[in-house]
C-alpha cells in the first residue's frame, strides 16, 4: 500500500528546495554553487537528494549536473530547468520548474505549466497514458510549441526512480492504463525546436548497473561507495570527488570510465534538443486514485 504521508513529507521538502532554487539561480551565479546549495538545502531538511540536482540550460533538456570543477555561470538570457527530488527510506519525490532569467520566455514556461495541469486533471484509475499525452500535446501545439517526443513522465516504485509506466508528452498510441495507488511523475518537456533530444558524450550522473569486480583500486573504491551509500539511486561524479577526497579528479574519472566499460555503472548523458531549440520543463509527482489523484509535490 502506498504510504502517501511519507511521500508528501518528501514532496514538501522537494518543493521547498525548488522554491529555494529561485534564490540561487541568478545571472552571474555559479552552477556548481547553486547545485550544491540546493542539495544541502534538502539535507538540511532531514532528507537526501533522490538524485543529483539537474540544472539544464536552454537547449539542454535534462541530466546536466555540474562537475567538481565546473566554471559555468548563469547568463542573463538563460532558460533554466531545475529538477530536484528528496527521499527518506523508501519514499521518493521528484519535481521540476523552469526559471526564465531573461523574462522573454514566459510563454513557453507558462505553456509547460498549463500542459502539466491539464494532464493532472485527467489522472484517474484506468486512464490510458496515450490520452494524457494527447492532452499535453494539444495544449503545447495550440501555443505554437512542440512536445519532446522521446522524453516524458514515469512511474516511481520502491528504490526505483524511473520504473513501470511511461507517461508520454504526445499521443504515442500506448493503451497502458494507470492503476489505483500508482505513484507517477508527469513532466511535459516542450520546445520551439524539432521536438526530439539526442544524447551527448557528456555525463556527470551515474547509477549502479552491475557488480563485476574491477581491477583498479580507484574503481573498486568507487563501486564500494556507490553500493553502500547510493544503492539503486543516481549519483553525481562530484559526490564521489567529495567522498573520496584522497583520490585525484583524474583517478575518479578513470575509475568511473573503467566501471562503465565493465557494465557496473550506467551513465546518464546530457540530453540536448536536436535543433538546439530552447526547452522548458514542468513536473509534479502524484498518486493515482480511483477518480482523481493526490498531488505529492504541490508547487
On the CB side of 173, how many CA atoms lie within 13 Å of its CA? 0
Residue among 157, 162, 174, 266 flagged as catalytic: 162
Burial class, 51, CB count within 10 angstroms (exposed 0-12 / middle 13-18 / buried 19+)? buried
Burial class, 76, CB count within 10 angstroms (exposed 0-12 / middle 13-18 / buried 19+)? exposed
Give helix 31-44 / helix 4-24 axis angle, nearest 10°.
Answer: 150
Residue among 8, 113, 182, 187 flagged as catalytic: 187
Residue among 9, 36, 78, 83 flagged as catalytic: 83
Q: Phi and psi (nearest 5°) for 90?
A: -95, -5
Listing DSSP states for 75-117 in one string gives -TT-EEEEEE-EEETTEE--EEEEEESSSS-HHHHHHHHHHHH
CA distance 122 to 119: 5
Burial class, 107, CB count within 10 angstroms (exposed 0-12 / middle 13-18 / buried 19+)? middle
Residue among 100, 113, 154, 273 flagged as catalytic: 154
Burial class, 186, CB count within 10 angstroms (exposed 0-12 / middle 13-18 / buried 19+)? buried
- Find cell 491539464 and name the residue: 118
27 catalytic residue (yes or no) = no
154 catalytic residue (yes or no) = yes
Residue 173, Cα to own-chain centre: how many angstroms?
24
Residue among 8, 36, 59, 94 flagged as catalytic: 94
63 catalytic residue (yes or no) = no
118 catalytic residue (yes or no) = no
Catalytic residues, which ones?
Answer: 83, 94, 154, 162, 187, 283
Amino acid at each position: 500500500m502506498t504510504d502517501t504521508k511519507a511521500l508528501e513529507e518528501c514532496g514538501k521538502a522537494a518543493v521547498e528546495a525548488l522554491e529555494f532554487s529561485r534564490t540561487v539561480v541568478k545571472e552571474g551565479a555559479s552552477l556548481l554553487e547553486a547545485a550544491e546549495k540546493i542539495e544541502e538545502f534538502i539535507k538540511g531538511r532531514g532528507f537526501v537528494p533522490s538524485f543529483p540536482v539537474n540544472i539544464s540550460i536552454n537547449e539542454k533538456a535534462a541530466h546536466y549536473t555540474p562537475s567538481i570543477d565546473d566554471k559555468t555561470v548563469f547568463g542573463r538570457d538563460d532558460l533554466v530547468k531545475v529538477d530536484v527530488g528528496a527521499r527518506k527510506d523508501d519514499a521518493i519525490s521528484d519535481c521540476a520548474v523552469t526559471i526564465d532569467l531573461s523574462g522573454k520566455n514566459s510563454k513557453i514556461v507558462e505553456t509547460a505549466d498549463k500542459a502539466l495541469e491539464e494532464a493532472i486533471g485527467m489522472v484517474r484509475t484506468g486512464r490510458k497514458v496515450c490520452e494524457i499525452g494527447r492532452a499535453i500535446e494539444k495544449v503545447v501545439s495550440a501555443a505554437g510549441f512542440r512536445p519532446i517526443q522521446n522524453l516524458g513522465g514515469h512511474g516511481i516504485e520502491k528504490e526505483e526512480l524511473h520504473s513501470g509506466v511511461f507517461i508520454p508528452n504526445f499521443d504515442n498510441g500506448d493503451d497502458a492504463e494507470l492503476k489505483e495507488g500508482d505513484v507517477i511523475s508527469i513532466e511535459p518537456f516542450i520546445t520551439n525546436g524539432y521536438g526530439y533530444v539526442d544524447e551527448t558524450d557528456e555525463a556527470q550522473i551515474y547509477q549502479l548497473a552491475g557488480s563485476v569486480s574491477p581491477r583498479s583500486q580507484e574503481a573498486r573504491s568507487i563501486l564500494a561507495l556507490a553500493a553502500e551509500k547510493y544503492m539503486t539511486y543516481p549519483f553525481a561524479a562530484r559526490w564521489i570527488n567529495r567522498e573520496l577526497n584522497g583520490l585525484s579528479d583524474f583517478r575518479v574519472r578513470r575509475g568511473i570510465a573503467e566501471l562503465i566499460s565493465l557494465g557496473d555503472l550506467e551513465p546518464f548523458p546530457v540530453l540536448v534538443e536536436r535543433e538546439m531549440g530552447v526547452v522548458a520543463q514542468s513536473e509534479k509527482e502524484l498518486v493515482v486514485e480511483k477518480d482523481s489523484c493526490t498531488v505529492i509535490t504541490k508547487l
